[in-house]
Structure 1
């Protein structure tokens, strides 16, 4: 709705609606004989509102919770060493699936709207692949099938719960031991031992070999072609973390592919990783433009003592100098859709201070088409020092809300959150993430708002003495040209105007729900109070979270 006269006219219109509505409700018989029959709600035809711009929201965060209505709330689900799922290798398929459903239910209940699931923990896979054997974390033996497709299963279950699903890969890590013979015969490292580097008792694919980079590009292409994932995600493991002063043994590869072209072996290593990132970005967006590509690097790019544009930190390890991951180049070439630096330090920690690093990353992404999410160390909560303060992590989240460039958070890892250290899971559920949030739009990926839902209706359903639920149902507009992926359900107290700012507060968004392949969509609101008047609206969203205009208003009075 606009400003000035139109707002005054709408206010007068809604006052008239309220008077008529209350007169009708006061004369409406509420017979106990209705029993299980549903009492029809009163429907009010009101103006719908439209967003201004593609996914841009100008209203302030909710004054009640301080939380924005659009925020990525992600959690990593680690499969390496069976950290999160499955709980141990060798479980029957049905038990693995039951665990997976339970974890996704718990993630949804805590307010998360995205999961980052590790589908390539080592040189293995959680899906049938031409480029890697089955993971030993599934069956107990690398190369042995678990009897079903875990990625396909978990992806379907996540989408059913309207959770965005990002497939998380570790590109170069092969194993935590250095025995090639212990790998499955179909492991590329076993088939191509010249591609492998032995370092500090572990095995890695050599990033300096073009054949290795081609293998990784083919791996991602296979994933994107076969699975309807929302994102492809890499973490911080590129060249391995240095172990003491032990050098990474790739000098021969450098002489073959980099000497004479690069000033140093470090520049050559960074060029290798840059080439991989650029190739993956091109591959993903060529095959499926809606799939997001993101990386979660080590949280310090460079210290200021090494580069004046680096952060005011004194980290012993940096992304640029130690892991050869030049995240600045990736951002400025628009190879990434999001970046999620792992800021796993407390506020006030001198060598890598949390608020200093958040400000540095905010400045780093300003003006570039990339979303910034902050990686949070849930596993450290309650571990001692500042992490023994129950307010440490909530302070992180409140601090991040100061910056429009911070589009969300990702927590490592799910079972660490579910353990409820210092009551943090309860804080998420009851306060920090009490109200759901929509995922921010990435305009550069395309997409657009679907048509508004139509024919919104409601029925009151008795649930025992003096208890009711509200059963909403609605239809898609058949003339809409953009496919609807899910719906947002809004509830306001009283006879409420469809004011854009009222609907953009986090307290107005009641729930999101995946679209069903059916003529009618149904949502049941169980969080209702007797003798209350509510106004409901529903919107439709595409898979990239562009939101339609609202449905017409629906006013419901609870007896």
Structure 2
């Protein structure tokens, strides 16, 4: 009886350890950072840099992201009806060479995609669909800019100029602008932020009454008509992406809250001043419910203790209102150590608590951080905290089975060669899976014994790579190691089986040991 009790005790302890590891270091988790280009906030650091200087800056950005174990980057490629890519619709952005319409000596978007893929970072192209002029006082506007050519498409609000979403021709034009990116560039995802209709400014009025009179006859009020305009656009983008590139992701980063509960029983128990539904006419919950987006990353830019809109309350609300799509928490790096903020952002552990809270919620599948500039300035040593704790080990981007659920085949013919306490693993690419896809990358796990094999534990990952070989130098003498390798496709589906090989390091080994053949095992 005592032996049985001890067995049950150790089994429970082992299970609890695995569970703790899974929560502490999850193997799948979106970790992305926004890179803002408007007004040269994040990239390029200033206008007029040469192509080589811009390339160097961006490579440094990617290297920093890899160092911190991020796995995705969200880059603003169309900040305000201009382009950081070769467009047949719009002019080159002023953030590159200082004036709109001046081409750089390279295609920044093509370069950024290529360099991101080299480093196994997902690249999401961030587009501001309705913002046409970021600031009328400072923006350089070319005579051929769309606001000059089609002024009837726009309205001014505050110091900005916006496309009028109520004009069908405008929505069609913007759709074609976006689809040019989708067709021409090998991006992993298309991304919108929270700018739809403008956020309210005291004393300002959106000048679209005439547009409502012309196109809104089926609606009782202008607010519902505005929401419908945005719905039509989001749905059109979603449907078009699925028709052209069905495996490309479409995500949006809206305002942190949909509606307050005192306005709608389905809303969150918050006192949001700028809910998306009421203030910018964005029915973000509906987009999830209809399956028009693959993910939302709400800008939940409050502390957990905030009395106005607790991060915890909002994260839990989105977790319950995800409708089978991914939710990625939005984190406010720009507020850390900011004395102007009402909430207490001087606690170095706040962001870490938010990440751990997000991990405890089934449908919150990761985090996005605003923005790169604030990540690099490392307020309250947040980078150190991330690297030493919650992001200590790498993580893989979560799969989206509604886009692609067919796993790749496992690596073939795995072999291991041991020499000087190094292990060289090499294998062959498998045949294509039933969807005709071969692996996009491989993940190498290392365990000390069979009981330790747990593919959900990110601390056991020793390599994520596209090559068909891996040299492990980080070994101890006179130890036994089990290597297991899985294949992953571009949408991060993993092979059901894995290639496995067991090796032993030998003290003072001077010649290579015989090649050891691996085996294929079921997960």
The TM-score with structure 1 as length reference comes to 0.83
Distance 1:296 1:181, change over 3 A: closer
* Cα distance in 2 for residues equivalent to 1:529 and 1:81: 51
Distance apart, 1:369 and its partner CA: 2.8
Quick check: 2:194–2:255 contact (8 Å CA) kept in 1? yes
* Cα distance in 2 for residues equivalent to 1:196 and 1:408: 36
RMSD value, Cα? 2.0
Query: 1:402-417 maps to which residues of 2 (within 5 A)?
Result: 402-417=360-375
Render the CA deviation track for 1:185-222: whole Å, top value 9, x for unaligned.
33222211111111112111111111110011101211
Distance apart, 1:348 and its partner CA: 1.3
* Cα distance in 2 for residues equivalent to 1:423 and 1:180: 33
Render the CA deviation track for 1:159-182: whole Å, top value 9, x for unaligned.
110011111101111123337995
Query: 1:137-536 maps to which residues of 2 (within 5 A)?
Result: 137-178=95-136, 182-258=140-216, 260-365=217-322, 368-384=323-339, 385-460=343-418, 469-478=422-431, 480=433, 481-493=436-448, 495-496=449-450, 499=453, 502-513=454-465, 515-516=466-467, 521-536=468-483
Distance 1:317 1:153, change over 3 A: same
* Cα distance in 2 for residues equivalent to 1:144 and 1:321: 39
* Cα distance in 2 for residues equivalent to 1:181 and 1:406: 38
Higher relative contact order (CA 8 A, sep 6+): 1
* Cα distance in 1 for residues equivalent to 2:192 and 2:504: 47
Quick check: 1:453–1:476 contact (8 Å CA) kept in 2? yes
Structure 2, unpaired ranges of 5+: 1-16, 508-523
The alignment status of 1:544 with 2:501, answered yes or no, reads no
Quick check: 2:34–2:372 contact (8 Å CA) kept in 1? yes
Distance 1:508 1:175, change over 3 A: same
* Cα distance in 2 for residues equivalent to 1:498 and 1:355: 34
Quick check: 2:253–2:296 contact (8 Å CA) kept in 1? yes
Quick check: 2:23–2:359 contact (8 Å CA) kept in 1? no
Quick check: 2:415–2:501 contact (8 Å CA) kept in 1? no
The TM-score with structure 2 as length reference comes to 0.89
Quick check: 1:236–1:297 contact (8 Å CA) kept in 2? yes
Secondary structure at 2:178's aligned position in 1? helix
Quick check: 1:451–1:482 contact (8 Å CA) kept in 2? no
Distance apart, 1:413 and its partner CA: 1.1
Quick check: 1:456–1:554 contact (8 Å CA) kept in 2? no
* Cα distance in 2 for residues equivalent to 1:224 and 1:479: 25
Distance apart, 1:529 and its partner CA: 3.9
* Cα distance in 1 for residues equivalent to 2:375 and 2:475: 29
Secondary structure at 2:24's aligned position in 1? coil
Secondary structure at 1:471's aligned position in 2? strand
How many residue pairs match? The answer is 485
* Cα distance in 2 for residues equivalent to 1:178 and 1:424: 35
The alignment status of 1:84 with 2:42, answered yes or no, reads yes
Distance apart, 1:134 and its partner CA: 0.5
Quick check: 2:154–2:164 contact (8 Å CA) kept in 1? yes
Render the CA deviation track for 1:479-521: whole Å, top value 9, x for unaligned.
654321111111112x43584xx122121222311x25xxxx1
Quick check: 2:437–2:489 contact (8 Å CA) kept in 1? yes
